[in-house]
Every structure is written in structure tokens, then in C-alpha cells.
Amino acid sequence: MVAAAGNELRCRFDVDEVSGVAGRANASDHPDGLALDLMVDRVTGEDLAEYALANRDRLGIEYVIYRQRIDSGDGWERMEDRGGATANHMDHVHISFEDR
């Protein structure tokens, strides 16, 4: 499901760089293969994040993080400052998927 959803988003929004499984120091869904980071510019990121949320049930999305905000289906909430642009998800959309 993660691969299919990632491929749909990558193709629909012409995203060149997508990362998935990775070791992370924090509590992340990446090591379990349940998260993707799609590197985007701001306009594409806004559109991609909104599309992902609008299709979250069909795509099996648990939550989306973009530009220091998180949305689990109840609307955007501000996140704490994690430091730099990448840590604050300013340069990419993070999508975590349900473990189905």
C-alpha cells in the first residue's frame, strides 16, 4: 500500500526525490516502512499535502506533516521547532501510513 500510494503521489505531483525506509533517531514510521518523505517546493507541497489528506482513507494515510504542521484528519496543528528546515518539514511532505 505504501509503495502504491507513494507512486501515485510521486507521479501526480512530478516529485523527483522520495525517501522511505530509513533509520531515524526519533520515533518515526520510516524504519518500519510506513512513511515517505517527498521533497517538494512550497506550492507543490501545499497541493500534495491537501491531496493526500483528501484521499487519506483510500491511500491508508495516518497523518501528514508539512511546514511544521501535522494533520491526522482533524485539521492542521502547529508543531514544535525541531531546528532546521528539513527537521521542521519545510522542504518535504512527510506522510505516515496505517499498518494494515
Q: What is the pLDDT along the chain (100 residues), one digit of tens a residue?
A: 899 999 999 999 999 989 876 655 565 787 778 899 999 999 999 999 999 999 999 999 999 999 999 999 999 999 999 999 988 998 999 999 998 7
User: 31: which 3 cell numbers?
Assistant: 524504519
pTM over 0.85: yes
Look up residue 55 and give its DSSP letter: T
Query: How many structural domains comprise the chain?
Result: 1
Burial label for 44, CB within 10 Å (0-12, 13-18, 19+), is middle
Domain ranges, residue 36: 2-97
pLDDT of the residue at 20: 78
pLDDT of residue 63: 97
Dihedral sign for Cα atoms in the order 1, 96, 69, 93: negative
Helix (H, G, I), strand (E, B) or coil at 27: coil
Q: Which helix (H) or strand (E) holds 60?
A: none
What is the rounded distance in angstroms from the CA atom of residue 19 to the CA atom of residue 2? 12
CA angle 19–28–78, rounded 5-degree value: 100
